[in-house]
């Protein structure tokens, strides 16, 4: 409202001002009309004529705002679900039906950490305000709210809720496919996992690289045989990922057969009744349970090649071990008496095969030909 007429004047605090009455018609929504301003002090009053100008600066309707996420219209108050590490964009498109209106968007409250809100005006219609955010932590919820108004202070509120769910994904633990090494001490071998590829590691979908703990730990001494190693990683949300691999320490340092048994390519000429003394070294004593089940054994082969046939026609039952396995600490060798009686046929050739529990999958040979019965 604008009053125009005579200049205003100061009045004592006890004076009372009142509009005495219009001298013209009732003012319209906007326009001008004459009024009289009466100032009274006790029984004394003074009338002053003014022109009352009513400026109705609020025609038309308030702005409207449409919220868009992922090319879809978001209903007022809808909660959007965001994932950690993914970028998101939400737009507020505000329009005003009044031509030439200026629009302003004002944030109500605060944005989530790391989010931005751009293009809030004032600007002409349409005003497109853009919310962008890449969540970095899980387990969040809140509201993004804008108060959109034009220059006549007509207002509309637009908002959406958001939630970032709790992290329930375990870290992915990577480990070597398996480690096999030869023992280099009587206790086995120290194995450092970081010397192999891939070394134990862990990656989390939110925390990125996370620490890995293995048991037994890298740098431990592993005994001869196979040992399972379990590696564990825990992310910031308490999710635990595990993976495992096997460390196999072998003792395959077979020093060959010792006399009287000769090593290939020499052929040992034997009697079908003979007790064959087997002696060998393995670079140390690995206990008395080193013979793999079913060994020593004899396999009939061609006397021309001494090759192990794929499907041998004559595989005799394992010969009887006539003496228990022993270890000579003075000479550093194992000893075993092995009977050929009743297990060989004259003029037949054999592979005498040894396998050890300390060296899985490997076979050590002596070549034997039965040339007499006594």
pLDDT tens digits, 60-111? 688 999 999 999 999 999 999 999 889 999 999 999 988 888 999 999 999 9
Give dist(CA 233, CA 237) in Å, integer. 12
3-state secondary structure 172-215: EEECCCCEEEECCECCEEECCHHHCCCCCEEEECCCEECCCEEE
Based on the domain organization, do 84 and 149 belong to the same domain? Answer: yes
Position 138 in a domain: yes
Q: Which residues of 199-229 are buried (b: 16+ CB within 10 A; e: fewer)?
A: ebbbebbbbeebebebeeebebebebbebeb
Tens of pLDDT along 17-51? 444 444 444 444 455 677 777 767 777 777 777 67
Tens of pLDDT along 108-142? 999 999 999 999 999 999 999 999 999 998 999 99
Q: Please state, rounded to an integer, the average pLDDT across all residues of the chain.
A: 85
Tens of pLDDT along 279-330? 999 988 888 989 999 899 999 999 989 987 654 444 444 545 556 899 999 9
Where is the domain boundary, 139, 164, 189? 164
Strand order of the sheet with strand 213-215?
179-182, 240-250, 225-234, 213-215
Q: Containing domain of residue 220, as a range?
A: 172-250
How many domains is the chain partitioned into structurally?
4
Position 261 in a domain: no
174, 88 contact by CB (below 8 A): no
Position 255 in a domain: no
Position 257 in a domain: no
Based on the domain organization, do 68 and 135 belong to the same domain? Answer: yes
For the whole model, what pTM was predicted?
0.60
Identify the pLDDT of residue 287: 87
Give dist(CA 362, CA 173) in Å, integer. 32
Based on the domain organization, do 9 and 48 belong to the same domain? Answer: yes
Give dist(CA 227, CA 222) in Å, integer. 7
Based on the domain organization, do 271 and 244 belong to the same domain? Answer: no
Q: How many helices (H) and strands (E) does the chain have?
A: 0, 30
Based on the domain organization, do 89 and 133 belong to the same domain? Answer: yes
Closest by CA to 344, choosing from 281, 305, 299, is: 299
Based on the domain organization, do 37 and 86 belong to the same domain? Answer: no
Where is the domain boundary, 216, 250, 284? 250
Question: To the nearest whole percent, how much of the chain has pLDDT over 90?
Answer: 64
Where is the domain boundary, 164, 197, 226? 164
Identify the pLDDT of residue 196: 95
Cis peptide before 336 (omega within 30 of 0): no
Lowest mean pLDDT among 66-70, 193-197, 230-234, 369-373: 369-373
Identify the pLDDT of residue 117: 97
Higher pLDDT among residues 54 and 70, named by residue: 70
> What three-state secondary structure class fits 368?
strand
Position 258 in a domain: no
Strand 208-209, strand 213-215: pairing: unpaired
Closest by CA to 289, choosing from 190, 213, 358, 202, is: 358
Give dist(CA 134, CA 130) in Å, integer. 14
Based on the domain organization, do 88 and 134 belong to the same domain? Answer: yes
> Residue 353 is encoded by which pair of tokens?
């095969």
Based on the domain organization, do 153 and 184 belong to the same domain? Answer: no
Question: To the nearest whole percent, how much of the chain has pLDDT over 70?
Answer: 84
> Residue 140 is encoded by which pair of tokens?
């969040």
Position 260 in a domain: no
Half-sphere exposure (CA, 13 Å, Cβ side) for 338?
A: 24
Based on the domain organization, do 315 and 365 belong to the same domain? Answer: yes
| Averaged pLDDT, 201-224 | 95
């Amino acid at each position: 409202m604008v009053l125009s007429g005579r200049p205003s004047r100061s009045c004592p605090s006890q004076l009372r001002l009142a509009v005495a009455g219009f001298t013209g018609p009732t003012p319209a929504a906007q326009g001008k009309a004459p009024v009289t301003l009466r100032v009274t002090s006790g029984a004394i009053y003074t009338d002053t004529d003014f022109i009352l100008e009513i400026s109705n600066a609020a025609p038309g309707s308030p702005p409207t705002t449409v919220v868009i996420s992922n090319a879809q219209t978001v209903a007022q108050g809808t909660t959007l679900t965001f994932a950690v590490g993914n970028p998101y964009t939400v737009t507020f498109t505000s329009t005003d039906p009044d031509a030439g209106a200026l629009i302003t968007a004002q944030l109500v409250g605060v944005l989530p950490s790391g989010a931005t809100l751009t293009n809030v005006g004032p600007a002409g219609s349409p005003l497109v305000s853009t919310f962008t955010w890449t969540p970095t932590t899980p387990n969040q919820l809140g509201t993004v709210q804008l108060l959109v108004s034009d220059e006549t202070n007509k207002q509309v509120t637009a908002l959406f809720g958001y939630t970032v769910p709790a992290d329930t994904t375990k870290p992915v633990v990577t480990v070597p496919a398996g480690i096999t090494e030869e023992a280099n001490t009587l206790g086995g071998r120290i194995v450092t996992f970081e010397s192999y590829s891939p070394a134990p590691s862990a990656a989390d979908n939110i925390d990125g690289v996370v620490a890995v703990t293995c048991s037994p730990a890298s740098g431990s001494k592993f005994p001869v045989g196979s040992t399972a190693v379990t590696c564990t990683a825990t992310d910031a949300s308490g999710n635990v990922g595990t993976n495992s691999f096997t460390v196999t320490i072998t003792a395959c340092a077979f020093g060959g057969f010792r006399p009287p048994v000769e090593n290939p390519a020499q052929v040992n000429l034997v009697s079908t009744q003979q007790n064959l003394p087997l002696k060998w070294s393995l670079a140390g004593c690995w206990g008395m349970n080193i013979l793999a089940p079913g060994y020593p054994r004899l396999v009939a082969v061609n006397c021309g090649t001494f090759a192990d046939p794929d499907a041998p026609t004559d595989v005799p039952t394992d010969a009887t071990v006539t003496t228990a396995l022993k270890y000579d600490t003075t000479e550093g060798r194992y000893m075993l008496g092995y009977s050929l009686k009743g297990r060989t046929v004259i003029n037949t050739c054999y592979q005498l095969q040894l396998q050890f529990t300390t060296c899985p999958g490997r076979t050590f040979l002596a070549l034997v030909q039965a040339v007499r019965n006594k």
